[in-house]
Each structure stands twice: as structure tokens, then as C-alpha cells.
A and B are shown apart, each in its own frame.
Chain A
Amino acid sequence: MNSKIKLICPAGNLPSLRAAVDQGADAVYIGFRNGSNARNFPGLNFDKASSAKAIEYAHQSGTNVYLALNTYPQPKQWAVSTNSIDIAAEQGFDAIIIADIGLLNYAHKHHPQMRLHLSVQGSATNYETIAFYREQFNIQRVVLPRTLSIAQIKRVVENTEVEVEVFGFGGLCVMLEGRCVLSSYVTGQSPNMNGVCSPAKAVRWEETGDGKNSRLNNVLIDHFAADDVVGYPTLCKGRFQVGGKPYYAIEEPSSLNTLEILPELVNIGIKAIKIEGRQRGVTYVKQVTRIFREAINRYYYSPGEFLLDDSWTECLNSYSEGQCQTFGAYHRSWQ
């Protein structure tokens, strides 16, 4: 069944990569430890030696390995990024996920045989944008931002020859990826420039008389009562006041989960479904990969009778931010 929707899983280190491969990922995406990708966190990612091991392990099982190279390098970071492309070509990565036009141009020119995917950070929300990247750099796949409804995604798929990949599970970015600088406005570091959003080094927890405050570079992001579930202060998921009314003014702490609409995604022609979370632990990668693999297999075994397993839902719930899940923009009512 070559035409099955591909399951693309995250790995921040070798154990996670092995878990994803063992649980049936079709491809695993990883990043180098050099600030060239959107999960530039301390202790995470691969060096040249571990990426070689990753590729060897994955290829033994027929699993692909993609390199995420999705920051927008400023001049000082340029050589690191092009060097990463050269290493990826030399080590036999199966595709590179790129956002920056200059880097796409470099990869296309110097490694024309390399498969290029347009990163979600490339903000491609319509088929005209995708056509530009196809024509200029021969991209083979596009990862769509989490801003489109199912109907809009269908329209994109119908009007492009490029494979379309969407996010299926994990952290929910509320903003158009690649065009959000909220993080650098508050902390000086952003996904575009540094591969981080609301970085941990800017976080400060503060005990108050009645609970806890979370701050990001001193800006109050949320206040938790003593018995509240405390969440990481991603700045778009805090509580703020508009017109004197405190609420989650941007988005509740919640995660994306599309398992229930898997048949819809397959039917409109999505070629790959991506699990977010290179920063998550090995158990997360193992469990989420296992469940999505089972779900995809079950769907193709009997497409008309696809039903969710309660144990899947329960397990995925436990990995969701705020133990809360949403279809995000896929369903128009969220918008």
C-alpha cells in the first residue's frame, strides 16, 4: 500500500528516533544542534555522529529521515545552515525541510538530487505560494500552517502537484507560522531567528500568597491558583485582560488532535501527517507514533468503518497541554 498516508514523527535524540522507527513511523524528522532549526533547545538535537547513526538505524527498517532546517539564518548563521545542507546530502538524509528562500536556492543549486520540503515556517497557505516554491526550487512537499480549515486544505490539494503534509497531533501554534514575532517582542528570541518560542531561559516562576505567577522576561503571562493545573508560559496561551475582562485572550492551553478526522484528511488527498514534538520525551514519541500507526492501519483495513479506540484517546489526552484537545483551525468554529 504505497499510497497510504505517511506518518512523520519527531525525534530530539537517538532513543526517540529508535522509538519512532520501531513503532512504525514512515519518516522521522530531526534537527542539528546548531541553531538551524525550530527546536533549538538545550540538550536536544543531533550532531554529525549521532545523525549518521540515526540514518543507519532508520534505513535498516526502511524508514526515511528528514532534516529540519527551518530557521531564517541571519548572515552570521548562514554558513552553519549551508554546511548543514551539505552534511545532510553527504549523510544520505531523505529530505530537507527548509523555510528560507536563500537556503532553498542553495540546496536546489548545489544538491539538485536532494528532496526539498517547504517547512511550515514558510507560511504557505495557498496554492499560488506553493507554485512559486515548486517552480523556483522544485519542492516535493509542503507542510501547511495550522491556520487552514479542511475545506481550504482541500482547495490547496486540488490545485497543486506538490505533496501536502499537515499537522496531526501535538502543540498547537495559533499563529501563522513564520510570521509571528511575539516571542522576540517579549524575549528577543523567536522561531524565525533563533528556533525558539517563549524560551525557557526567559521564564520565571513566582510564588504569590494565593498561588503562582508565570513570567516571560518579566511580563506576567498567567496566574495560577494553588489547585490549578500549571502550564508552561507560552506567551500566546496565557491569560490577559481585554476591556477589563481576564481570559485566554489568544488561545487556551490545548493541543491539536486530528485522529478523529483522519478519514477526512485521507479523503481530501493529504499525503503525510506530522506529529509535533521534537522536544518531547521518548515515551511521548513511542506512544503517539504507536497510536497513529494503529489508527492509520485500521483505517486502510476498512475505510468505511473507522472508529477510534478509547485507549488511544485516553493516552493522547495524557500528552496534551492542559489535558485539553482541539481540531484547531481545521474546524471553522475554532477560528
Chain B
Amino acid sequence: MPDLWRLSPELAMKISLAPLQYFWSKQQVFDFYESLVNTSVDIVYLGETVCSKRRELSLPDWLEIARLLQDSGKEVVLSTMVLVEAESELMTMRKIIHNNEFIIEANDIAAINLLKKGQPFIIGQHINVYNRETLDFLVRSSAKRWCAPVELSHNTLLEIKNRHPWPIEVEVFSFGKLPLAYSARCFSARANNKCKDECELRCLDYPDGQLMRTLEGSDFLTINGIQLQSANHYNLLSSIKDLYELNISCMRISPQFKNTIEVINLFRQVIDQDANLVAAQKTITAYAGQGECNGYWFGDPGMHRHI
């Protein structure tokens, strides 16, 4: 492979870590983020984005983690909830947005509405940006980076770029179970015969979510509270060259209970061309649990896998 990336080190792609999608104990969360201090991850998104009943960590706890990571040279972003309904959820969001220290990621338009005039923010992957006009509108509203929706293919991103430089940094979800849907209903509670109001926080028992199979036993989806994810891991390791050529700034990895650091290291090595892609791909398969998919990138059903 030609030495593409080293030609312009200032354009080297960064690695970001998505907000933790699952419910872990406070100690597990602290241990996890402390273990990232000496890794090559560049950007860390922090905070609860799935369910407001998950209160192992308070905002001061998250801020403590944020400062620890910032002191170790990471860019830290505070993420906000995807489905915001209750007044208490809006109150939490206001506190996060007005923290005065860290930039925020908006996953609902409410977060953008709560920004102070000119306050920069990151457009999360759940804000629906499917065309250049919407992106430009949000850039005019002080957006600093855009994490594209998972549905957008390589070709669609090319069309949105439209041969111009990107107006802001662009980030692409590159590894982990895909967040696919959110509901008022809690599927973890339902799977455990509980109703949402008496859910007993059962999702704490499933640090990578609960597998949903079809009736004939094929792995299909993952239940994670009010969220559904893919069972398979989305993996764009083999498409790094596409992303580089598209001037993508940042590849997003979703935290999982085991091997997150190994995944970060593999992406780093391939980006820096310190590892052979074929060998790295073989290694990462072992960290991808139920299996891999990458169909969205190719404009196909997301569950498909191109080799």
C-alpha cells in the first residue's frame, strides 16, 4: 500500500471513543476511563446518552473523568441524551451544556436550542444531517464537528462533500455495535418481564447488552434498555483508505466491555501504517463478538459484510 497518510501528518485521522452505550457500575466506568489515559485515543465522548434512569455516575463524576482525560492530553466532549422527554432530562441537559469547561455533543435538537449564542458544539450522529444544506445550516449555528448518521454511505458523503473542502471536521462511526433505534419502551425490562417504571435497572446485568436472535437462531440485534443495536459489530478498519481520501477527520469507536484498548491500538497502527491491514483485520475479528458488518458504507443493507 502506498505511503498515503505519512505524506501529510497534519491530516492524520484521529480516533474518538463514542459515549458508553451500556450501563456499568461506577467503579467499572472509572476503571475503564482511567485505563484510557495512556492510549492513543484522541477524543473521548463522555456521559449517559441512552437512559436517564442510569444514575451510577453524577455529572460531577463525569466531570472528574473528563478532567483526568483532558489532563492526559485528550480532547473531551460531554454528550447529551438522544431521547429527551421528561423535565428532569431537560434539567440535566441544561447543566451539561452550561458546564463552562467542555464542548458538548448534541444528540437532540433540544441541546442545540439550549446553547448560548455562538457556543460551539459537535453534531452527534442522531441529529439528522443527510444533505449539505442541513450541514451548512448547523455550521452557521457554530457546529465544530459532525458525526455522520450511520446510514450515510461513502458515496453519499462524497456527494455531500461535493468536491469542496469540508466546512468542519467530519467523524464516521467505524467500530462497534451500531445504534439502530430508540423507543419509549424499555426492551431490557420487557425481556426480563418487568415494566419500565419497575425495571430494577436490569441492564446493569448485561455489560454489552442482551443478544436477540431470530427464531432460527441467527444473531440479529442487541437489546440495550430503550435502545436497539446491531448484534454484529460494524467495522470500517478495511475502509480506512476511503475515509482518508474523503478527508474524514476522525474514526469513532464504540466502547465495549472487553478489548476496547486493543481495538484502539489496531486502528491507530493501521492509520499510522505501522501494521499490515490484512493481519490487523484478522486480529480485530477476534474482538468483534458475534460477527462483523459494514454494509452501510457500501450503500447496502447495514447488516451486510463486504470483504
Contact = CB atoms under 8 A, between A and B. Distances in A.
Interface string B240-269: 000000000000000000000000000000
A76 B131 CA distance: 9
A33 to B, nearest CB: 21
Interface string B105-147: 0001110111000000000001011111110111000000000
B220 A219 contact: yes
Interface residues of B, number: 69
Contacts of A185: 178, 180, 230, 296, 301-303
Contact of A184 (B132, B151, B190, B218): B151
B130 A175 contact: no
Given A180-B182, A243-B191, A124 B109 contact: yes
Contacts of B217: 241
B84 interface: yes
Nearest to B228: A182
Interface string B264-307: 00000000000000000000000000000001100111110000
Interface residues of A, number: 66
Contact of A75 (B162, B184, B218): B162
B200 interface: no
Q: Is the interface of B mostly helix, strand, loop or mixed?
A: mixed
A100 B130 contact: yes
Interface stretch (B3-11, B30-38, B62-70, B85-93): B85-93
Nearest to A242: B191
B181 A175 contact: yes
* Interface SS of A by simple majority: mixed
A72 B159 contact: no
B192 to A, nearest CB: 9
Contacts of B214: 219-221, 240-241
Interface of A: 72-76, 78, 99-103, 105-106, 123-126, 128-129, 131-133, 135, 146-149, 152, 155, 174-176, 178-182, 184-188, 190, 192-193, 217, 219-223, 236, 239-243, 246, 249-251, 329, 332-335
- Closest CB pairs A-B (n = 8): A102-B133, A128-B110, A147-B184, A72-B130, A102-B134, A132-B113, A75-B159, A185-B302
20 contacts: A74-B160, A78-B131, A102-B131, A129-B84, A131-B113, A148-B85, A175-B182, A179-B126, A182-B180, A188-B300, A220-B214, A220-B218, A223-B215, A240-B213, A240-B214, A243-B210, A249-B191, A250-B183, A332-B196, A335-B197
